[in-house]
Amino acid sequence: MRHATLRQLRVFEAVARLRSVTRAADELHLTQPTVSIQLRQLSEMAGLPLLEQVGKKLYLTQAGEALQRCCRGVADELARFEMQVADLKGIKAGRLRLSVITTAQYFIPRLLGAFFARYPGIEVALEVTNRGQVLRRLADNADDLYVLGLLSERADVVAESFLDNPLVVVAPHGHALAGQRAIPLARLAEEHFLIRESGSGTRLAVENHFRAAGLGLRVRMELGSNEAIKLAVAGGLGLAVLSAHTLALERNSDELTVLDVQGFPIRRQWYVLRPSDKPLSVVASTFLDFLRSESRALARSDLPGLGAYLPSPP
């Protein structure tokens, strides 16, 4: 493989990442036949097939997986070099790869908007997915930084909290418990709940909270998104525990109300994670510094504004 060109490696990396020749060709602004030729030449150099097609799906062979890891290392080093050159010129430029769980979509875009305004030369590839997928991307070293609401148990990860993430109990506006004060958790355990999928950080926190009190959680339905849960709560299907950030745009809603429950809000944090053995690029370091400073402003402007949802003191 010593005669492989950077162009061929970039083509293979795109196909391996996207699992599609068509999508890779679109991303690289190449024709599909050109991409196919580059892949065939790489396979001939390797002496083994790198990809295999099963039905309509494309899979990496063992040799392909090894080459993908190599391509990531080459791409990371080249990107790091380009960023360092730009930094020496006094320009913040490059590409930031960011992976966040779905609940973070309620505040990350606002932070990115301010980040783009300050550093217009930086591009961001944002992946919004569930906790399990974020952890898989972390294990695969697919991104620069990862945002989670619950820490990973991996020892080779550096985690830093940057924003409060209070969890509140949400009910339909006309629920029998709405307006009551200091509702006992045991009373809440009598209600049916709508929860996220298994492995969700919010779900794990809620289950642990009830378990610590010796109570069970009556689950009526599992739903795959916070928006679906809010709609189901509004429809009277049950209660839910959600991050207060998910209510930021619904402060004047007459469909949802936050209950005043003993032991709530559950105080949690948002964390930004990175592999401990991976040097931060100039762009990733710039965004991390930005996150540290601007998240304080977000907390001051956003969470206090949720006062209508957070139970007031007696």
Q: What HEC string does the chain produce?
A: CCCCCHHHHHHHHHHHHHCCHHHHHHHHCCCHHHHHHHHHHHHHHHCCCCEEEECCEEEECHHHHHHHHHHHHHHHHHHHHHHHHHHHCCCCCEEEEEEEEHHHHHCHHHHHHHHHHHCCCEEEEEEEECHHHHHHHHHCCCCCEEEECCCCCCCCEEEEEEEECCEEEEEECCCCCCCCCCECHHHHCCCEEEECCCCCHHHHHHHHHHHHCCCCCEEEEECCCHHHHHHHHHCCCCEEEEEHHHHCCCCCCCCEEECCECCCCECCEEEEEEECCCCCCHHHHHHHHHHHHHHHHHHHHCCHHHHHCCCCCC
Give the model confidence (pLDDT) of 158-182 as tens digits: 999 988 888 999 999 889 998 899 9
- Output the pLDDT for position 304: 47
Give the model confidence (pLDDT) of 9-47 as tens digits: 888 888 888 888 888 888 888 898 898 888 888 888 888
Beta bridge partners of 273: 146, 159
Domains of the chain and CATH, by start: 6-68 (1.10.10.10), 92-164+269-305 (3.40.190.10), 167-267 (3.40.190.10)
- Output the pLDDT for position 79: 66
Give the model confidence (pLDDT) of 79-102 as tens digits: 666 666 666 555 566 788 999 998
Question: Residue ranges of the chain with pLDDT lower than 50?
Answer: 304-305, 308-309, 311-314
Residue 259: phi and psi, rounded to 5, are -85, 145
Burial, 133: exposed, middle or buried (Cβ in 10 Å; 0-12, 13-18, 19+)? middle
Does the pTM surpass 0.85? The reply is no
Residue 19: phi and psi, rounded to 5, are 55, 40
- Output the pLDDT for position 250: 62
- Output the pLDDT for position 147: 93
Provide the token pair at 294: 């601007």
